[in-house]
Amino acid sequence: MRTFAKPAIEMVDTMRQAAAADPARAIAFGGAPGSNSHQAAMQFDPDGLPLPFIGFEDALDAVSQGRAGCAMIPIENSQHGRVSDIHFLLPESGLHIVAEHFMRISHALMATGPGPFQAAYSHPQALGQSRHYLQERGIVALAHADTAGAAAYVAELKDPTFCAIAPAMAADLYGLDIIEEAVEDAHDNTTRFVVLAREPREPASIEAETAMSTLIFEVKNVPAALYKALGCFATNGVNMTKLESYQKGASFAATGFYADIEGAPGNARVDAALEELEFQTNSVRLLGSYGQARKRG
């Protein structure tokens, strides 16, 4: 589906017109109005102009093309892990991570009637975060492009046997009844978002004690390749807070890694670690340095 459901279209058009008049203030996000990304954008910059798109790639393209000043993109969830495809989309976008934002996530079950329900529409992340709730009630999970978009679609369907899992805000926007709140399986459910812009932040502008950097690197296809790469950080006293692997290409021989470290270029220990990493790997690319929104550890 490459278009919003009818109940969302008028709101989307209004938001896009406002953003077109002042693109520097626009914050692009993937999802319909009322989505978690929409709420994260409003929390991050209350004076910004939320700019909705069907998918993450469209939101990133809007920033690349100058139609938005930045994009708010979910990257990982405390309960359901990393968001699919983000590790490929971020490097391909040519954009830079300039900030991070954490948001507590709460899902509501909403519909046009009281049920019983055959199936629930939502984004795969939200369905995964509410997996036990749905299984216990025999409700089939059906994937949709985003949470609020699922709510708009259920409003358009007007079929009382279908429901949506989305933020409570979406029920207000699309005229749905909230059947039950807080249907997520873990009540400390939190999503980490990153903010991307065309220009990187200067590492010198970030307080040294709160600096974070995100990078990707591809290890050589030799024994102990990852051990040697991680040793670059260990021997220089640089703390790595996140490491995830992904395959590049169909050969399954070139493994890429996405990592977050504490510190930024300009710090002697970070500079030494990155210099050694260049020698130990096929490639290294810094995706951005930014201040911590939440202290690690």
Q: Is 191 one of the catalytic residues?
A: yes
Active-site entry in 53, 193, 233, 257: 193
Active-site entry in 4, 53, 147, 191: 191
CA distance 275 to 20: 42
Q: Active-site residues: which are they?
A: 191, 193
